[in-house]
Chains A and B, each alone.
Chain A
Amino acid sequence: MKITLHVWRQKNATSKGGMETYVVDGVSADMSFLEMLDMLNEQLIAEGKEPIAFDHDCREGICGTCSLMINGVAHGPDSGTTTCQLHMRSFQDGDAIHIEPWRSRAFPVIRDLVVDRSAFDRIIQAGGFISINAGGAQDANNLPIPKPDSDAAMDAAACIGCGACVASCPNGSAMLFVAAKIGHLAHLPQGQPERAMRARNMVAQMDAEGFGACSNHYECEAVCPKEIPVKFIAKMNRDFMKASLCSES
């Protein structure tokens, strides 16, 4: 396959950046999208040019490091799929593909397609944890958890924190990420003691990082590689309002 790529190039966080066009020939349909970019990078290095910087780590769809806005869709055209799990068979010979970094005030571009997602880490640090001393491991089933609750907690915990929700949201909102993290712990007994504080602090940190508000466009749900549903946002709203209005502090 012969593919024309329009790629965002930016030297560093402060330089201006712009779209550049490249042609890669001999792409196999069995290659992953990132392997196709590796191929282009080898070609660029051979030509004595700077390779394109992009984020990746596991290349198995589990770590949340890969990103990329591919033809205007976060993680590209296959639903429920990370960019690293996207394959060139989803494209056709002769296609032109636009690749841009995640765009968000809270995710500044560091170089080319790489953005700084540490805003997510700071949101987790604000409350996405359980601080009780758990002691030794308990016997299984010592702490009964109803099946629907454990299922819901696992659905939320599937979030890999890639930031596709922010990237695709017309408002640059991080609500699906934050809702998944709050919802995950809110469904488990271990999460109850700090539940109200967690909801307040994580939402406050989300706002402080400069993410937008939710207008219920549901673009996040449509691109989430882990298919996290927006019902977690509804649940987070309930938790946050209860925590804010019914708390004693």
Chain B
Amino acid sequence: MSLGTTMKSSIGAKVLMAITGILLSLFVVGHMLGNLQVFLGPEKLNHYAETLQGLGPILWVIRFGLLTILLLHIGAAFRVTRMSKAARPVDYHQRKDLATSFAARTMMVSGVLLLLFVVYHILHFTTHTIDMAGVGELHDAEGRHDVYGMVVGGFQHLPTTAIYILAMLVLCVHLSHGVSSLLQTLGVRKESNASTVDKIGPIFASIIFIGNVSMPLAIFIGLIS
């Protein structure tokens, strides 16, 4: 069977979603670790940002790669959702859920919200198109783009902070089902490790949530200024 035919099957589409899900999750981890340097002060964060910018063409390769992964993930998600909607044309008057979770039932909703957030986030901190606090174009003493000043200035603004914290809540919900789910999809979950696998998603999602929310929160309450 060709790779294309395989990936279009019900199982192949889920495997594609799982693999792209892993890559996106790894990106989320890397992105969080990089940004946590805000706690180490302006020198560290601005240096990190400059290093990333200094990657030049490689940065574009990474951006293009991430976009492709995200598009494959979304494409597979829509394919799977369409198959599943079509599979039950007449709904029940009554159907009780016995095993599933809120997160599992709302993957499409959390996914679409995440997509909207990703667009907003890029317009905000990458292109500075949306700059409610007016801190997008600062420069530090060494003439570098003052990312530290931009982030700290940005999160002193309540609506911005609120949007980021809510978005992280959505990400947390998506990953709490997603990460456990992908381990089942890829055939890792067995009877002997099922309860551990079912905890990995919520634990991973909570770590991402705490790590990412700690930054806007610390800035907003004035721990970092």
Contacts and interface: CB of A to CB of B under 8 A. Distances in A.
B99 interface: yes
B221 interface: no
Given A213-B83, A237-B14, A105 B88 contact: yes
A213 B99 contact: no
A204 B12 CA distance: 11
Interface in A17-36: 19
Given A103-B88, A216-B181, A241-B12, A170 B94 contact: no
Nearest to A221: B99
B91 interface: yes
Interface in A78-128: 98, 100, 103-106
Given A172-B84, A244-B1, A238 B187 contact: yes
A54 interface: no
B109 to A, nearest CB: 13
Given A204-B9, A216-B181, A237-B11, A100 B92 contact: yes
A73 interface: yes
A55 interface: no
B97 A219 contact: yes
Contacts of B95: 69, 72, 168, 170
Contacts of B11: 203, 213-214, 236-237, 240-241
A173 B84 contact: yes
Contact of B191 (A219, A231, A240): A231
Given A215-B104, A244-B6, A234 B92 contact: no
Interface in B93-114: 93-100, 104-105, 107
B194 interface: yes
Contacts of A243: 1
A244 B91 CA distance: 33
Interface residues of A, number: 52
B184 A211 contact: no
A170 B84 contact: yes
Contacts of A105: 86-89
Nearest to A218: B99
Contact of A212 (B84, B177, B184, B189): B84
Contacts, number: 148
Interface in B1-46: 1, 3, 5-6, 9-15
Contact of B88 (A212, A231, A235, A238): A212
B188 interface: yes
A157 interface: no
B186 interface: yes
B92 A217 contact: no
A206 interface: yes
B190 interface: yes
A106 B87 contact: yes
B22 to A, nearest CB: 15
Contact of B187 (A73, A223, A237): A237
A72 to B, nearest CB: 4
A233 B186 CA distance: 10
B84 A215 contact: yes
Contacts of A234: 184-190
A215 B80 contact: yes
B223 interface: no
23 contacts: A69-B95, A168-B98, A170-B97, A172-B87, A203-B10, A210-B86, A213-B10, A213-B83, A214-B185, A215-B107, A215-B181, A216-B184, A216-B185, A219-B99, A234-B184, A234-B185, A234-B190, A237-B15, A241-B6, A241-B11, A243-B1, A245-B1, A245-B3
Interface of A: 6, 19, 69, 71-73, 98, 100, 103-106, 168, 170-173, 175, 200, 203-204, 206-207, 210-219, 221-223, 229-231, 233-238, 240-241, 243-245, 247, 249
Which A-B residue pairs are the 9 nearest by beta carbons?
A: A172-B87, A212-B87, A171-B84, A212-B84, A238-B187, A217-B100, A72-B96, A72-B94, A222-B98
Given A105-B88, A105-B89, 7 more contacts: A73-B96, A171-B87, A211-B10, A212-B83, A213-B83, A216-B185, A245-B1
